[in-house]
């Protein structure tokens, strides 16, 4: 989108926008062939794959934020150790996450998040039955 941003700036801008739940604006920062690997849960491809995972996940959240604990950049690869925080009706849920991103031509081409799924699921509201 903006080739004047560094890979780290691109990734942090993307995360900030996605935490605001502005999917159209955030997904403009990913490549059409992006791979999103939510390691303990599974992989999806493309911007619509990311939307299909995150839109329902963020559905019950009131506020979302992330705090960078450590940041490492090597060329187009960005690694962020983060604390993702999500405010639900029941209070804040905090999840330590390590994300690896690869940026190509100013867009995120790979996003891989590592976290402990049982930690998240023990605090997250169950999805309503369909």
Residue 128 lies in a domain: no
The secondary structure of the chain as a DSSP string is --TTS-HHHHHHHHHHHHHTT-HHHHHTTEEEEEEEEETTTEEEEHHHHHHHHHHHHHTT-SEEEEEEEEEEEETTEEEEEEEEEEEETTEEEEEEEEEEEEEETTEEEEEEEE--HHHHHTTSPPPPP-
126 falls within a domain: no
User: What range defines the domain where residue 15 resides?
Assistant: 7-121
Q: Residue 97 domain-assigned?
A: yes
Is 49 within a domain? Answer: yes
Give bridge partners of residue 92 from the DSSP assignment.
87
Q: Is the pLDDT of residue 1 over 50?
A: no
Most distant CA pair in the chain: distance in Å? 45
Higher pLDDT, 116 or 5: 5
Residue-level pLDDT at 128: 46
The Cα 32–Cα 57 span in angstroms is 22
CATH number for 86: 3.10.450.50
Please give the mean pLDDT across all residues of the chain.
Answer: 91
For residue 65, the model assigns a pLDDT of: 95
| Number of domains observed in the structure of the chain | 1
Does 2 map to a domain? no
pLDDT at 129 over 70: no
What percentage of the chain has pLDDT greater than the value 90? 78
CB 91 within 8 Å of CB 13:
no
Give per-residue pLDDT as tens, 62-98.
999 999 999 999 999 999 999 999 999 988 989 999 9
Residue 130 lies in a domain: no
CA gap 72, 66 in Å, rounded: 16
Annotated active-site positions, please? 84, 113
Class of residue 78 by CB neighbours under 10 A (exposed 0-12, middle 13-18, buried 19+): buried
| Residue 54, in any domain of the structure | yes
Confidence of residue 3 (pLDDT cuts 50, 70, 90): low
Global pTM? 0.88
**pLDDT digits 0-9 by tens, 94-126:** 999 999 999 999 999 999 999 987 777 777 765
pLDDT average, residue stretch 1-11: 84
């Amino acid at each position: 989108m903006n080739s004047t941003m560094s890979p780290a700036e691109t990734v942090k801008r993307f995360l900030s926008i996605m935490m605001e739940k502005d999917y159209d604006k955030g997904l403009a920062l990913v490549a059409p062939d992006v791979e999103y690997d939510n390691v303990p849960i599974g992989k999806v491809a493309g911007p619509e794959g990311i939307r299909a995972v995150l839109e329902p996940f963020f559905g019950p959240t009131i506020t979302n934020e992330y705090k960078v604990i450590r940041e490492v950049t090597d060329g187009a690869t960005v690694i962020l150790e983060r604390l993702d925080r999500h405010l639900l009706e029941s209070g804040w849920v905090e999840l330590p996450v390590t994300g690896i991103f690869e940026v190509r031509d100013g867009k995120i081409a790979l996003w891989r998040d590592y976290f402990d799924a049982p930690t998240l699921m023990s605090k997250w509201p169950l999805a309503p039955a369909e």
